[in-house]
Amino acid sequence: MEKWQNYIINRNISFDIFMIRFGIAGIPLTSKGRTFVESVEEVHNLGLNSLEVQLLRVNVQERPALDYAGLRPKDVQDSIIVNILRQDEEGNYKSVGVDTSIDENDIVQELFWNMARNYSEIKEGGDLAKELDVTLSLHAPYYMDLLNGNEMAERSSNHLRWSLIIARGMEARRVITHTGFYSQSKKESLDNAVKFYSQFSKEFSTDKGFPFIGVESSGKEEIFGSVSDLTSLAKRVPGIEPILNFAHVHALQGGSLIEVRDFESIIETFSKYKKDDLYTEFSGVEYEGHNEVKLSAIKHGDLKFETLSEVLADMTDDVTIISSSPLLEHDSQYMNIILLRTIAKKLQKKESKKSDVEVERVTRSYPVKKGVKIDVESILATTRKVTRSGTVSKDHVIAKIPGLERVELWGEGKMLMCETTTEKNSENYENAVKKFNELIEALTGYNAKERKKIMSKVPK
Protein backbone atom coordinates (compact mmCIF):
# COMPACT_ATOMS: atom_id res chain seq x y z
CA MET A 1 0.00 0.00 0.00
CA GLU A 2 2.86 2.39 0.78
CA LYS A 3 4.07 2.05 -2.81
CA TRP A 4 0.75 3.38 -4.16
CA GLN A 5 0.44 6.17 -1.60
CA ASN A 6 3.92 7.46 -2.46
CA TYR A 7 2.99 7.48 -6.14
CA ILE A 8 -0.22 9.40 -5.47
CA ILE A 9 1.43 11.97 -3.22
CA ASN A 10 4.22 12.60 -5.72
CA ARG A 11 1.71 13.01 -8.51
CA ASN A 12 -0.28 15.63 -6.61
CA ILE A 13 2.81 17.63 -5.69
CA SER A 14 4.16 17.60 -9.24
CA PHE A 15 1.09 19.27 -10.82
CA ASP A 16 1.97 17.38 -14.04
CA ILE A 17 -1.51 15.89 -14.24
CA PHE A 18 -3.85 17.55 -11.77
CA MET A 19 -4.22 18.58 -8.17
CA ILE A 20 -7.02 17.72 -5.79
CA ARG A 21 -7.03 19.98 -2.74
CA PHE A 22 -8.85 19.31 0.49
CA GLY A 23 -9.81 22.03 2.93
CA ILE A 24 -12.37 23.26 5.41
CA ALA A 25 -14.99 25.99 5.74
CA GLY A 26 -14.13 28.05 8.81
CA ILE A 27 -11.69 27.91 11.72
CA PRO A 28 -10.28 24.41 12.39
CA LEU A 29 -11.91 22.82 15.42
CA THR A 30 -8.44 21.92 16.70
CA SER A 31 -7.09 25.46 16.42
CA LYS A 32 -6.17 27.02 19.77
CA GLY A 33 -6.15 30.48 18.23
CA ARG A 34 -9.14 31.97 16.42
CA THR A 35 -7.43 34.40 14.07
CA PHE A 36 -7.01 34.26 10.32
CA VAL A 37 -3.25 33.76 10.54
CA GLU A 38 -3.58 30.95 13.09
CA SER A 39 -6.25 29.24 11.00
CA VAL A 40 -3.98 29.18 7.93
CA GLU A 41 -1.14 27.70 9.97
CA GLU A 42 -3.37 25.05 11.56
CA VAL A 43 -4.83 24.00 8.19
CA HIS A 44 -1.30 23.42 6.94
CA ASN A 45 -0.34 21.49 10.10
CA LEU A 46 -3.35 19.23 9.56
CA GLY A 47 -2.03 18.24 6.14
CA LEU A 48 -4.76 20.17 4.28
CA ASN A 49 -4.16 22.77 1.59
CA SER A 50 -7.28 24.91 1.22
CA LEU A 51 -9.18 27.22 3.57
CA GLU A 52 -12.55 28.85 3.08
CA VAL A 53 -12.46 31.85 5.42
CA GLN A 54 -15.85 32.88 6.76
CA LEU A 55 -16.78 36.53 7.24
CA LEU A 56 -18.82 36.10 10.41
CA ARG A 57 -19.17 38.11 13.61
CA VAL A 58 -18.47 41.47 12.00
CA ASN A 59 -19.56 44.88 13.16
CA VAL A 60 -19.48 47.96 10.92
CA GLN A 61 -19.67 51.52 12.20
CA GLU A 62 -19.58 54.93 10.54
CA ARG A 63 -17.50 57.72 12.05
CA PRO A 64 -15.81 61.01 11.06
CA ALA A 65 -12.42 60.37 9.48
CA LEU A 66 -10.51 63.17 11.22
CA ASP A 67 -8.22 60.76 13.14
CA TYR A 68 -7.23 59.03 9.89
CA ALA A 69 -6.66 62.08 7.68
CA GLY A 70 -3.77 61.56 5.28
CA LEU A 71 -3.72 57.78 5.73
CA ARG A 72 -4.80 55.14 3.27
CA PRO A 73 -7.22 52.49 4.58
CA LYS A 74 -4.53 49.80 4.41
CA ASP A 75 -2.38 51.82 6.84
CA VAL A 76 -5.04 52.10 9.57
CA GLN A 77 -4.13 49.76 12.46
CA ASP A 78 -7.24 49.88 14.67
CA SER A 79 -9.88 48.67 12.21
CA ILE A 80 -10.58 47.60 8.63
CA ILE A 81 -11.83 50.56 6.58
CA VAL A 82 -14.25 49.11 4.01
CA ASN A 83 -15.53 52.39 2.55
CA ILE A 84 -14.81 56.10 2.42
CA LEU A 85 -17.74 58.50 2.04
CA ARG A 86 -16.93 61.93 0.62
CA GLN A 87 -19.07 64.99 -0.06
CA ASP A 88 -19.81 65.86 -3.67
CA GLU A 89 -20.42 69.39 -4.98
CA GLU A 90 -23.98 69.30 -3.67
CA GLY A 91 -22.90 68.25 -0.20
CA ASN A 92 -24.08 64.64 -0.50
CA TYR A 93 -21.81 61.91 0.79
CA LYS A 94 -20.84 59.40 -1.91
CA SER A 95 -18.67 56.31 -1.79
CA VAL A 96 -15.14 56.72 -3.18
CA GLY A 97 -13.99 53.20 -2.28
CA VAL A 98 -10.87 52.32 -0.34
CA ASP A 99 -8.13 52.93 -2.92
CA THR A 100 -7.51 56.57 -2.00
CA SER A 101 -6.14 58.62 0.88
CA ILE A 102 -8.56 59.69 3.60
CA ASP A 103 -9.49 63.39 3.91
CA GLU A 104 -10.32 64.96 7.26
CA ASN A 105 -13.88 65.78 6.12
CA ASP A 106 -14.61 62.22 5.01
CA ILE A 107 -16.74 59.66 6.81
CA VAL A 108 -15.31 56.15 7.06
CA GLN A 109 -17.05 52.82 7.47
CA GLU A 110 -14.99 50.68 9.85
CA LEU A 111 -15.35 46.93 10.01
CA PHE A 112 -14.37 45.10 13.18
CA TRP A 113 -13.73 41.38 12.67
CA ASN A 114 -12.73 38.80 15.26
CA MET A 115 -10.26 37.09 12.87
CA ALA A 116 -8.15 40.12 11.89
CA ARG A 117 -7.78 43.65 13.25
CA ASN A 118 -6.53 45.41 10.13
CA TYR A 119 -5.34 45.03 6.55
CA SER A 120 -1.82 44.23 7.76
CA GLU A 121 -3.04 41.07 9.50
CA ILE A 122 -5.16 40.17 6.47
CA LYS A 123 -2.10 40.49 4.22
CA GLU A 124 0.02 38.55 6.72
CA GLY A 125 -2.44 35.64 6.55
CA GLY A 126 -2.52 35.78 2.76
CA ASP A 127 1.27 35.80 2.52
CA LEU A 128 1.52 32.85 4.92
CA ALA A 129 -1.04 30.92 2.86
CA LYS A 130 1.06 31.40 -0.29
CA GLU A 131 4.18 30.31 1.56
CA LEU A 132 2.46 27.16 2.89
CA ASP A 133 0.60 26.46 -0.40
CA VAL A 134 -2.83 26.88 1.18
CA THR A 135 -5.31 28.29 -1.34
CA LEU A 136 -7.81 30.78 0.07
CA SER A 137 -11.43 31.59 -0.58
CA LEU A 138 -13.83 33.67 1.49
CA HIS A 139 -17.50 33.02 2.22
CA ALA A 140 -19.71 36.08 2.65
CA PRO A 141 -22.17 36.04 5.58
CA TYR A 142 -24.57 33.14 5.14
CA TYR A 143 -27.87 34.98 5.45
CA MET A 144 -28.30 36.96 2.23
CA ASP A 145 -31.36 38.45 0.56
CA LEU A 146 -30.15 40.23 -2.57
CA LEU A 147 -33.23 40.05 -4.81
CA ASN A 148 -36.11 41.69 -2.97
CA GLY A 149 -35.04 45.34 -3.02
CA ASN A 150 -35.63 45.98 0.67
CA GLU A 151 -33.42 47.13 3.54
CA MET A 152 -32.11 43.58 3.95
CA ALA A 153 -31.08 43.59 0.27
CA GLU A 154 -28.99 46.72 0.83
CA ARG A 155 -27.39 45.19 3.91
CA SER A 156 -26.67 41.94 2.01
CA SER A 157 -25.15 43.93 -0.85
CA ASN A 158 -22.86 45.68 1.61
CA HIS A 159 -21.83 42.35 3.13
CA LEU A 160 -20.82 41.07 -0.30
CA ARG A 161 -18.97 44.34 -1.04
CA TRP A 162 -16.99 44.09 2.20
CA SER A 163 -16.25 40.42 1.56
CA LEU A 164 -14.74 41.23 -1.83
CA ILE A 165 -12.60 44.02 -0.40
CA ILE A 166 -11.24 41.81 2.39
CA ALA A 167 -10.74 38.85 0.03
CA ARG A 168 -8.68 41.06 -2.28
CA GLY A 169 -6.52 41.99 0.70
CA MET A 170 -5.68 38.33 1.36
CA GLU A 171 -5.46 37.50 -2.39
CA ALA A 172 -8.20 34.87 -2.19
CA ARG A 173 -9.20 33.17 -5.43
CA ARG A 174 -12.95 33.66 -4.98
CA VAL A 175 -15.70 35.00 -2.74
CA ILE A 176 -18.63 32.63 -2.29
CA THR A 177 -22.11 33.94 -1.59
CA HIS A 178 -25.69 32.81 -1.37
CA THR A 179 -28.26 34.90 -3.21
CA GLY A 180 -31.31 34.67 -0.98
CA PHE A 181 -35.02 34.15 -1.42
CA TYR A 182 -36.81 34.18 -4.75
CA SER A 183 -38.54 37.46 -5.56
CA GLN A 184 -41.95 36.71 -7.04
CA SER A 185 -41.50 34.22 -9.93
CA LYS A 186 -38.32 32.26 -10.56
CA LYS A 187 -37.93 33.95 -13.95
CA GLU A 188 -38.13 37.41 -12.39
CA SER A 189 -35.71 36.30 -9.71
CA LEU A 190 -33.23 35.16 -12.34
CA ASP A 191 -33.58 38.49 -14.16
CA ASN A 192 -32.98 40.36 -10.90
CA ALA A 193 -29.98 38.18 -10.11
CA VAL A 194 -28.51 38.83 -13.58
CA LYS A 195 -28.96 42.57 -13.09
CA PHE A 196 -27.41 42.56 -9.62
CA TYR A 197 -24.42 40.32 -10.38
CA SER A 198 -23.72 42.06 -13.70
CA GLN A 199 -23.34 45.35 -11.87
CA PHE A 200 -21.31 43.83 -9.05
CA SER A 201 -18.95 41.86 -11.28
CA LYS A 202 -18.16 45.06 -13.20
CA GLU A 203 -17.66 47.17 -10.09
CA PHE A 204 -15.50 44.49 -8.46
CA SER A 205 -13.92 42.95 -11.54
CA THR A 206 -10.89 40.70 -11.58
CA ASP A 207 -9.20 43.35 -13.73
CA LYS A 208 -9.18 45.52 -10.60
CA GLY A 209 -7.59 42.77 -8.55
CA PHE A 210 -10.77 41.42 -6.97
CA PRO A 211 -11.45 37.66 -6.74
CA PHE A 212 -14.15 35.86 -8.70
CA ILE A 213 -17.69 35.97 -7.35
CA GLY A 214 -18.94 32.44 -6.74
CA VAL A 215 -22.69 31.91 -6.36
CA GLU A 216 -23.41 28.82 -4.30
CA SER A 217 -26.08 26.24 -4.98
CA SER A 218 -29.08 26.14 -2.66
CA GLY A 219 -30.48 23.34 -0.52
CA LYS A 220 -33.99 24.76 -0.09
CA GLU A 221 -36.79 25.23 -2.61
CA GLU A 222 -37.57 28.84 -1.60
CA ILE A 223 -33.97 30.00 -2.05
CA PHE A 224 -32.38 30.97 -5.37
CA GLY A 225 -29.65 28.52 -6.41
CA SER A 226 -30.94 25.49 -8.25
CA VAL A 227 -28.64 23.99 -10.88
CA SER A 228 -30.80 25.62 -13.56
CA ASP A 229 -30.61 29.00 -11.77
CA LEU A 230 -26.83 28.91 -11.57
CA THR A 231 -26.13 27.70 -15.10
CA SER A 232 -28.53 30.29 -16.54
CA LEU A 233 -26.88 33.00 -14.42
CA ALA A 234 -23.38 31.95 -15.51
CA LYS A 235 -24.39 32.03 -19.19
CA ARG A 236 -25.70 35.58 -18.87
CA VAL A 237 -23.04 36.93 -16.50
CA PRO A 238 -19.64 35.51 -17.55
CA GLY A 239 -17.90 36.95 -14.48
CA ILE A 240 -19.94 34.72 -12.16
CA GLU A 241 -18.81 31.24 -11.10
CA PRO A 242 -21.42 28.66 -10.01
CA ILE A 243 -20.29 26.87 -6.83
CA LEU A 244 -21.11 23.18 -6.54
CA ASN A 245 -22.19 22.22 -3.03
CA PHE A 246 -22.90 18.51 -3.38
CA ALA A 247 -25.02 18.35 -0.22
CA HIS A 248 -27.23 21.27 -1.30
CA VAL A 249 -27.76 19.86 -4.80
CA HIS A 250 -28.46 16.38 -3.43
CA ALA A 251 -31.09 17.71 -0.98
CA LEU A 252 -32.79 20.11 -3.40
CA GLN A 253 -33.15 17.36 -6.00
CA GLY A 254 -34.56 14.90 -3.48
CA GLY A 255 -31.50 12.66 -3.25
CA SER A 256 -30.22 12.78 -6.83
CA LEU A 257 -26.52 11.94 -6.31
CA ILE A 258 -26.38 8.18 -5.82
CA GLU A 259 -24.61 6.51 -8.74
CA VAL A 260 -21.24 7.34 -10.29
CA ARG A 261 -22.99 8.66 -13.39
CA ASP A 262 -24.97 11.13 -11.22
CA PHE A 263 -21.76 12.68 -9.91
CA GLU A 264 -20.20 12.66 -13.38
CA SER A 265 -23.18 14.55 -14.78
CA ILE A 266 -23.27 17.28 -12.13
CA ILE A 267 -19.50 17.77 -12.28
CA GLU A 268 -19.64 18.09 -16.06
CA THR A 269 -22.40 20.70 -15.74
CA PHE A 270 -20.48 22.91 -13.27
CA SER A 271 -17.10 22.39 -14.95
CA LYS A 272 -18.29 24.33 -17.99
CA TYR A 273 -18.31 27.53 -15.93
CA LYS A 274 -15.43 27.01 -13.48
CA LYS A 275 -12.77 29.66 -12.96
CA ASP A 276 -9.40 27.96 -12.66
CA ASP A 277 -10.04 24.87 -10.47
CA LEU A 278 -13.46 23.26 -9.94
CA TYR A 279 -14.45 24.52 -6.48
CA THR A 280 -16.81 22.26 -4.52
CA GLU A 281 -18.14 21.71 -1.01
CA PHE A 282 -19.05 18.36 0.53
CA SER A 283 -20.68 17.00 3.67
CA GLY A 284 -23.37 14.58 4.64
CA VAL A 285 -26.91 15.94 4.55
CA GLU A 286 -30.33 15.22 6.01
CA TYR A 287 -33.30 16.28 3.90
CA GLU A 288 -37.05 15.93 3.64
CA GLY A 289 -38.63 15.94 0.20
CA HIS A 290 -36.67 18.57 -1.67
CA ASN A 291 -35.47 20.62 1.30
CA GLU A 292 -32.29 20.36 3.31
CA VAL A 293 -32.81 19.88 7.05
CA LYS A 294 -29.20 20.04 8.19
CA LEU A 295 -25.65 19.16 7.18
CA SER A 296 -24.11 16.10 8.82
CA ALA A 297 -20.89 14.10 8.99
CA ILE A 298 -20.00 12.43 5.71
CA LYS A 299 -20.58 8.93 7.10
CA HIS A 300 -24.27 9.72 7.61
CA GLY A 301 -27.00 9.69 5.01
CA ASP A 302 -27.18 8.51 1.41
CA LEU A 303 -24.75 11.04 -0.10
CA LYS A 304 -21.54 9.00 -0.29
CA PHE A 305 -18.07 10.41 -0.83
CA GLU A 306 -16.89 6.90 -1.74
CA THR A 307 -18.99 7.16 -4.91
CA LEU A 308 -17.72 10.66 -5.70
CA SER A 309 -14.14 9.43 -5.24
CA GLU A 310 -14.63 7.01 -8.14
CA VAL A 311 -15.15 10.05 -10.38
CA LEU A 312 -12.40 12.17 -8.84
CA ALA A 313 -9.86 9.38 -9.29
CA ASP A 314 -10.28 9.63 -13.07
CA MET A 315 -10.38 13.42 -13.38
CA THR A 316 -7.66 15.41 -15.12
CA ASP A 317 -8.67 18.88 -13.89
CA ASP A 318 -7.79 20.67 -10.67
CA VAL A 319 -10.45 20.26 -8.00
CA THR A 320 -10.92 21.80 -4.55
CA ILE A 321 -13.11 19.97 -2.03
CA ILE A 322 -14.13 21.96 1.05
CA SER A 323 -15.51 20.12 4.05
CA SER A 324 -18.65 21.84 5.34
CA SER A 325 -19.35 18.93 7.65
CA PRO A 326 -19.84 19.58 11.39
CA LEU A 327 -16.62 17.59 11.84
CA LEU A 328 -14.71 19.94 9.51
CA GLU A 329 -11.05 18.86 9.39
CA HIS A 330 -11.75 15.28 10.53
CA ASP A 331 -14.01 14.71 7.54
CA SER A 332 -11.70 16.61 5.18
CA GLN A 333 -8.82 14.31 6.15
CA TYR A 334 -11.10 11.28 5.91
CA MET A 335 -12.19 12.25 2.38
CA ASN A 336 -8.52 12.49 1.40
CA ILE A 337 -7.94 8.97 2.72
CA ILE A 338 -10.96 7.62 0.85
CA LEU A 339 -9.70 9.15 -2.40
CA LEU A 340 -6.20 7.72 -1.87
CA ARG A 341 -7.69 4.25 -1.36
CA THR A 342 -9.82 4.57 -4.49
CA ILE A 343 -6.87 5.67 -6.63
CA ALA A 344 -4.70 2.89 -5.19
CA LYS A 345 -7.31 0.28 -6.08
CA LYS A 346 -7.60 1.60 -9.61
CA LEU A 347 -3.83 1.58 -10.07
CA GLN A 348 -3.53 -1.95 -8.70
CA LYS A 349 -6.28 -3.13 -11.02
CA LYS A 350 -4.59 -1.44 -13.97
CA GLU A 351 -1.23 -3.02 -13.15
CA SER A 352 -2.85 -6.43 -12.71
CA LYS A 353 -4.62 -6.15 -16.04
CA LYS A 354 -1.44 -4.98 -17.70
CA SER A 355 0.48 -8.02 -16.46
CA ASP A 356 -2.15 -10.30 -17.98
CA VAL A 357 -1.88 -8.77 -21.45
CA GLU A 358 -0.43 -11.07 -24.09
CA VAL A 359 2.75 -9.52 -25.48
CA GLU A 360 4.51 -10.21 -28.79
CA ARG A 361 8.18 -9.31 -29.35
CA VAL A 362 9.51 -9.28 -32.96
CA THR A 363 12.90 -8.29 -34.42
CA ARG A 364 13.09 -7.20 -38.06
CA SER A 365 15.71 -5.73 -40.42
CA TYR A 366 15.04 -3.06 -43.05
CA PRO A 367 17.05 -1.94 -46.09
CA VAL A 368 18.20 1.69 -46.03
CA LYS A 369 18.29 3.98 -49.06
CA LYS A 370 21.71 5.15 -50.14
CA GLY A 371 22.72 8.38 -48.43
CA VAL A 372 20.40 7.91 -45.44
CA LYS A 373 22.35 7.87 -42.17
CA ILE A 374 21.57 5.26 -39.51
CA ASP A 375 24.05 6.22 -36.83
CA VAL A 376 22.66 6.64 -33.30
CA GLU A 377 22.38 10.43 -33.48
CA SER A 378 20.51 10.35 -36.81
CA ILE A 379 18.12 7.61 -35.66
CA LEU A 380 17.44 9.49 -32.43
CA ALA A 381 16.73 12.80 -34.19
CA THR A 382 14.34 11.24 -36.70
CA THR A 383 12.59 9.12 -34.08
CA ARG A 384 11.96 12.11 -31.84
CA LYS A 385 10.61 14.08 -34.78
CA VAL A 386 8.10 11.34 -35.71
CA THR A 387 7.12 9.91 -32.31
CA ARG A 388 8.02 12.79 -29.98
CA SER A 389 9.88 10.25 -27.87
CA GLY A 390 13.29 8.67 -27.84
CA THR A 391 16.16 7.87 -25.50
CA VAL A 392 19.53 6.14 -26.02
CA SER A 393 20.56 2.95 -24.21
CA LYS A 394 23.75 1.09 -25.18
CA ASP A 395 23.82 2.65 -28.68
CA HIS A 396 20.19 1.64 -29.28
CA VAL A 397 17.35 4.16 -29.57
CA ILE A 398 14.28 3.38 -27.45
CA ALA A 399 10.95 4.94 -28.44
CA LYS A 400 7.29 4.67 -27.43
CA ILE A 401 4.34 4.56 -29.80
CA PRO A 402 0.82 4.29 -28.31
CA GLY A 403 -0.22 0.68 -28.86
CA LEU A 404 3.38 -0.58 -28.90
CA GLU A 405 4.94 -1.31 -25.55
CA ARG A 406 8.45 -0.60 -26.84
CA VAL A 407 10.33 0.17 -30.08
CA GLU A 408 14.10 -0.43 -30.12
CA LEU A 409 16.17 0.75 -33.12
CA TRP A 410 19.81 0.46 -34.15
CA GLY A 411 21.99 0.29 -37.26
CA GLU A 412 23.76 -2.90 -38.27
CA GLY A 413 25.91 -2.52 -41.40
CA LYS A 414 23.66 -1.19 -44.14
CA MET A 415 20.47 -2.39 -42.45
CA LEU A 416 18.20 -0.77 -39.87
CA MET A 417 17.35 -3.18 -37.06
CA CYS A 418 14.12 -2.86 -35.11
CA GLU A 419 12.67 -4.82 -32.22
CA THR A 420 9.03 -4.12 -31.30
CA THR A 421 7.14 -5.25 -28.23
CA THR A 422 3.44 -5.25 -28.99
CA GLU A 423 0.32 -5.58 -26.85
CA LYS A 424 -1.77 -7.83 -29.06
CA ASN A 425 -5.11 -6.67 -27.67
CA SER A 426 -4.19 -2.99 -27.60
CA GLU A 427 -7.03 -0.68 -28.63
CA ASN A 428 -4.46 1.52 -30.40
CA TYR A 429 -2.94 -1.27 -32.49
CA GLU A 430 -4.11 -0.03 -35.90
CA ASN A 431 -2.94 3.51 -35.21
CA ALA A 432 0.32 2.11 -33.87
CA VAL A 433 0.96 0.28 -37.15
CA LYS A 434 0.41 3.50 -39.12
CA LYS A 435 2.77 5.48 -36.91
CA PHE A 436 5.36 2.66 -36.97
CA ASN A 437 5.34 2.55 -40.79
CA GLU A 438 5.74 6.34 -40.84
CA LEU A 439 8.78 6.01 -38.57
CA ILE A 440 10.43 3.24 -40.62
CA GLU A 441 9.89 5.18 -43.86
CA ALA A 442 11.51 8.27 -42.31
CA LEU A 443 14.47 6.23 -41.07
CA THR A 444 15.09 4.14 -44.21
CA GLY A 445 13.89 6.37 -47.05
CA TYR A 446 11.64 3.55 -48.35
CA ASN A 447 7.87 3.29 -47.98
CA ALA A 448 6.14 -0.01 -47.21
CA LYS A 449 5.58 -0.96 -50.88
CA GLU A 450 9.19 -0.21 -51.77
CA ARG A 451 10.48 -2.22 -48.82
CA LYS A 452 8.31 -5.19 -49.76
CA LYS A 453 9.56 -5.09 -53.33
CA ILE A 454 13.21 -4.94 -52.25
CA MET A 455 12.84 -7.76 -49.75
CA SER A 456 11.09 -9.97 -52.33
CA LYS A 457 14.31 -9.94 -54.38
CA VAL A 458 16.46 -11.09 -51.46
CA PRO A 459 17.31 -14.84 -51.77
CA LYS A 460 15.77 -16.90 -48.99
What pLDDT score was predicted for residue 349?
A: 76
Q: Report how far residue 391's alpha carbon sits from residue 264's, in angstroms, rounded to the nearest whole number.
A: 39
Residue numbers in the chain where pLDDT is lower than 50: 1-17, 460
DSSP 8-state class, residue 382: H
Q: Report how far residue 75's alpha carbon sits from residue 97's, in angstroms, rounded to the nearest whole number.
A: 15
Kindly report, residue by residue over 49-92, the tens digit of the pLDDT. 999 999 988 899 999 999 999 999 999 999 999 999 999 988 89
Residues whose CB is less than 8 angstroms from the CB of residue 46 and which lie 6 or more positions away in sequence, other chains included? 28, 30, 329, 332, 333
Query: DSSP assignment of 151-213, as one string?
Result: HHHHHHHHHHHHHHHHHHHHT-SEEEE---B--SSHHHHHHHHHHHHHHHHHHT-GGGTPPEE
Q: Domains in the chain, start-ordered, CATH in brackets? A: 2-57+116-350 (3.20.20.150), 59-113 (no CATH), 358-456 (3.30.310.190)
Residues whose CB is less than 8 angstroms from the CB of residue 104 and which lie 6 or more positions away in sequence, other chains included? 65, 66, 69
Query: DSSP assignment of 295-336, as one string?
Result: EE-TTSSS--HHHHHHHHTT--S-EEEEE-STTTHHHHHHHH
Half-sphere exposure of 191 (CA within 13 A, CB side): 6
Q: What's the pTM value of the predicted model, to 2 decimals?
A: 0.74
Half-sphere exposure of 72 (CA within 13 A, CB side): 7
| SS3 state of residue 87 | strand
Q: Report how far residue 338's alpha carbon sits from residue 310's, in angstroms, rounded to the nearest whole number.
A: 10
What pLDDT score was predicted for residue 448?
A: 83
Report whether 83 contacts 108 (CB < 8 A): yes
What pLDDT score was predicted for residue 402?
A: 85
Q: Cα 216 to chain center, whole Å?
A: 15
What pLDDT score was predicted for residue 357?
A: 53
Report whether 51 contacts 23 (CB < 8 A): yes
Q: Report how far residue 270's alpha carbon sits from residue 243's, in angstroms, rounded to the nearest whole number.
A: 8
What pLDDT score was predicted for residue 451?
A: 82
Strand partners, 441: none
CA dihedral 192, 60, 171, 115 (to 10 degrees): -130
